[in-house]
Structure 1
Amino acid sequence: MSKISETEKSNVSLAQRAWSIRRYALQMAEVQGQGYIGQALGVADVLAASYFHAMTYRANDPEWEGRDRFYLSIGHYAIALYAALIEAGILPEDEIETYGMDDSRMPMSGMAAYTPGMEITGGSLGQGLGIAVGAALGLKRKKSSAFVYNMLSDGELGEGSTWEAVMSAVQWKLDNLIAIVDFNNQQADGPTLDALATSEEAPKWAAFGWYAQEVDGNDLTALVQAFDNARNHRELQPRVIICRTKMCKGIPFLEQRESTHFIRVEADEWAKAIALLDEDKPQ
């Protein structure tokens, strides 16, 4: 496959893509019995819209120079990105059982040197947007038409380095940069809104000079429109999409847990979770 074409994208609905991403993530998490599955379930719709609507890439050539880049700043979301890469055909499904194991190409925190399609090593939060700014600037100087997508967390909005990158992107007029903020209002120490983020993030980014949108990150129609708006925006400015997502989306008994930042799930609950997801498989 030389490129994900519009025809190929339409053969499988985005809802089906998101469902598959959730299911692959659950299968991987079951291998370890624990992990950042809440984030993966929550952000599956965003990844489906990114990889199967917005982005251009070659599944059989992950380093193709003309590709759009997807930079995962939040390294602990790697399980979600692996699931998307499996669905995209960049990683093989039969490696799911190796997740988090020694010598696996799918370590629990994303590492670019290990995994095809993993563009950067994340995990030191607050670094991803700065890396994306550099990449976007480099692509512009090479006169490339590729976009750089950078997924960062709401917790990273409390990092000073993030806002330095925000200002740099405006200074360099990086209209090929699209930041995606997963705003699930949960970080390791509690609700994000009790830390340094605010409930009015889009106006803040706009005040810095970004083209800013805020959407329900679990509404595929809204996501598609937001990505189209971001790509088609004509002003020479970077773009950001604030995605309000629900942790553990699609698995009601996990959604109801008080803390879902890092989940330990009992052995019998994995089968229950997959069964619940399968009951709602899109047609």
Structure 2
Amino acid sequence: MISPALALFLVFLIVPIVLAFALAFTNARLISPNPPEFTGLDNFALLVTDPVFWASVRNTFYFAVVVVPVQAGLALLLAVLVNAKVRGTRFFRTVYFLPVVTSMVVVSLLWRFMYEDDGLINKLLQALTLGRFTPVDWLNDPDWALPAIMLMSVWQGVGFTMIIWLAGLQTIPAELYEASELDGAGTWQQFRYVTWPGLLQTRTFILVTITIAAFSLFTQISVMTQGGPLDSTTTVVYQAVRSGYEQLQTGYASAISLVFFLMVLTVSLVQRRLSRERG
């Protein structure tokens, strides 16, 4: 009964992973009459001296360091607000979750138009400053391109994270809040000593999933900036795809993918270890 699913799992997941590991040590090209040859660590030696690769690593970590805490914190705040027993919470849950069910390609296209010189963002800032704000070409400015993508990514993903926080909040027994209230605990004390400890497993899951998603940044870059300007928005995943499909360097792209796998694995293990120690 499980053989069809198992076959698809092997063909579309296990086999590509094994090939990526194997091709990382060859000079394979996407289109070439010559068969791949084993080159050892040549691809990894090239990575060390590739300034674009180091720029992509720097941009990836910069994106993750900013987006992960901001998205997790904002989502937790929204989850606490919509978890309150007041009228209208269902409406706000739906509104906050709408960007999640919208295609990332569509969202990226819309925000790209909004970030243009005469787009909604500049028009809104000019209106708020009574015309004193000078329009900025956000996605063509090396200083602002990646922060602009960060803002859009947080807006798009915060609803999904909010739902996970909300599910965690609803697993905390109401008796704990009642007992803490009888003991004279205020709102902040209830959050610190009841809510936050009760979300241990939830926050571990959220941190790991958001971090992996942040490190896997690709769609926004591909649609909005194509890695520019001046490689200021190039990420590890985008460089791997560009190297493999545009530059036809399959072996080099596989080496980048292998390094990316090790990066994500290391960060995830560190996060889980720190979360357990704090727990």
Same fold per TM (> 0.5)?
no
**Richer in strand (by share):** 1
TM-score, normalised on structure 1?
0.26
**Richer in helix (by share):** 2
TM-score, normalised on structure 2?
0.26
Larger Rg: 2
Larger RCO (CA under 8 A, 6+ residues apart):
2
